[in-house]
Structure formats: C-alpha cells, structure tokens
Chains A and B, each alone.
Chain A
Amino acid sequence: SYVLTQPPSMSVAPGKTASIPCGGNSLQTKSVHWYQLKAGQAPVSVMVYGSDRPSGIPERFSGSISDNTATLTISRVEAGDEADYFCQVFDSASEHSVFGGGTKLTVL
C-alpha cells in the first residue's frame, strides 16, 4: 500500500518559517492535501492540490511539490499555528485515501 512519510515533530520560533515535508513515491503525480489538527478541535483543511489555500486560510500558509516531496510552509509562525499537520493523497491503485503519520509542530 502507498506510504506517506512525515517527520514526527518539528519546532520553530515565533516569526520564523516552518517547512513541513511529506514524502512519497512518485508524489509529484498525485494531488497532495494538508490538514491541521489541534487538540479538542475539528481538523481543518489548510492546503489542497499541493498549493491551493482553502478560503479562510492565511496567506502565511503555502504549499509546494518537488519530485517525491510535498512541503507545507508556514511563514511568520504564530503561537496559534502549534498543531499536528497531516498530508494526504488518494491512491488510485487501491482506491484508498492515505495519510502521512503527522508532524507535531511546536512553537517555541
């Protein structure tokens, strides 16, 4: 089955930039989506189709894909950005949706 790989954790100082990677085989051929999960809250879609921001998501959030790695970038990080971030793709071979293991972003 298809696998997406994320680092379990990252930390960043307020005002700095966080770049969260998501790796997968031939990832550039797939549509990658990102979700933010804060404790006790509903998950939120923060990036779709690699680099499209859903309505209401700050411009500080951006996305990109290069070769086998998708990256969610958060500029000028704020305390409120502290959350778990998950990447996700649809695997057409299995007709299943697949999530990465998630990255816990800590704002120092």
Chain B
Amino acid sequence: EVQLLESGGGFVQPGGSLRLFCAASGFTFSDFAMNWVRLVPGKGLEWVSGISNSGGSTHYADSVKGRFTVSRDNSKNSLFLQMNSLRVDDTAVYYCSKDEGGIAARVFEYWGQGIRVTVSS
C-alpha cells in the first residue's frame, strides 16, 4: 500500500523559512517522480514543484520559483521542500504526491494527507 506522510509544517512569519518532509513507503521510491501540490484557502489546488525520479530534473511554479527548493533522498525514501522568503499567500495545505512515472508534474497518482503551513504576522 502506497503511503505518503508529510511533516514539518506550522506557523511562520512573513519572510521566514520552513522545510517540509514527505516519508514514502509501499513502492520503489527511486522509480517515480514526486510533486508538491498545495490547497490554497478559497482558491483550490496549485501545483508547486516536481522532481524527477533520479532528482536530476526539478520544476517550479512561477509563484515559488527562486524561493522554494525541492529535493529527494532515494536512499531514505524521502522528499523535501525547502521554503524560504515565505509570504502570506503561501498559506495552504501542502500535499506530497507520487507521480505515475519518472517525470514530474504529469499524473498525481497518490497523495498524502497534507500538512498545514500558515504564514502570518
């Protein structure tokens, strides 16, 4: 059974940083691309970032490019999202999602339960 468990969220002031973690199990992690998708209050789902199965290719939404960095550790079945220079409009529930294949941002086959990030002064 595929399981994705996010952690690392919380409350942070504008300009601050947070690092999200996603622990994956139930599949061969190194075979699949991974993504971060967020649910913005009142606005819906927004794809944030994706990383290929090898970690060699990364992609970002324009809204986070230059501020967020996605990475993975295939030896530990772990996905990360380093979020810097956080803004109020980054407030959302962040989901870790397994892609269908090795290239990111294609099909979000499985999702975690999500972790809340609140950016406020």
**Residues of chain A whose beta carbon lies under 8 Å from any beta carbon of chain B:** 1, 31, 33, 35, 37, 41-45, 48-49, 54, 84, 86, 88, 90, 95-102
**Residues of chain B whose beta carbon lies under 8 Å from any beta carbon of chain A:** 4, 35, 37, 39, 43-47, 50, 59, 61-62, 95, 97, 100, 105-114
Q: Which of A1, A31, A88 contacts B108 (CB 8 A)?
A: A88
CB pair B113 A41 closer than 8 Å: yes
Q: Which of A33, A35, A42 contacts B113 (CB 8 A)?
A: A42
Give the interface SS of chain A, mostly helix, strand, loop or mixed.
Answer: strand
Q: A32 vs B102: C-alpha distance in the bound complex, in angstroms?
A: 18
Of chain A, the residue at the smallest CB distance from B4 is: A42
Q: Which residues of B contact A96 (CB under 8 A)?
A: 47, 59, 61-62, 105
Most B Cβ at <10 Å: residue of A43, A54, A88, A101: A43
Q: A5 vs B114: C-alpha distance in the bound complex, in angstroms?
A: 25
Q: Which residues of A contact B4 (CB under 8 A)?
A: 42
CB pair B106 A43 closer than 8 Å: no
CB pair B47 A97 closer than 8 Å: yes
Q: A54 vs B109: C-alpha distance in the bound complex, in angstroms?
A: 9
Q: A11 vs B67: C-alpha distance in the bound complex, in angstroms?
A: 40
Closest 7 CB pairs of A and B: A97-B47, A97-B105, A102-B44, A99-B45, A42-B111, A43-B111, A42-B113
Q: A96 vs B44: C-alpha distance in the bound complex, in angstroms?
A: 16
A45-B108, A97-B50 provided; 12 other pairs, C-beta below 8 A? Answer: A31-B106, A31-B107, A42-B95, A42-B112, A43-B97, A48-B107, A84-B44, A96-B61, A97-B47, A97-B105, A101-B43, A101-B44
26 A-B contacts, Cβ less than 8 Å apart?
A33-B108, A35-B45, A35-B108, A35-B111, A37-B45, A42-B4, A42-B95, A42-B112, A44-B111, A45-B107, A45-B108, A45-B109, A45-B110, A49-B107, A86-B44, A88-B45, A88-B108, A95-B59, A95-B105, A96-B47, A96-B59, A97-B105, A97-B108, A99-B47, A102-B44, A102-B45
Of chain A, the residue at the smallest CB distance from B39 is: A37
Q: Which residues of A contact B50 (CB under 8 A)?
A: 97
Chain B: minimal CB distance from A93 (Å):
13
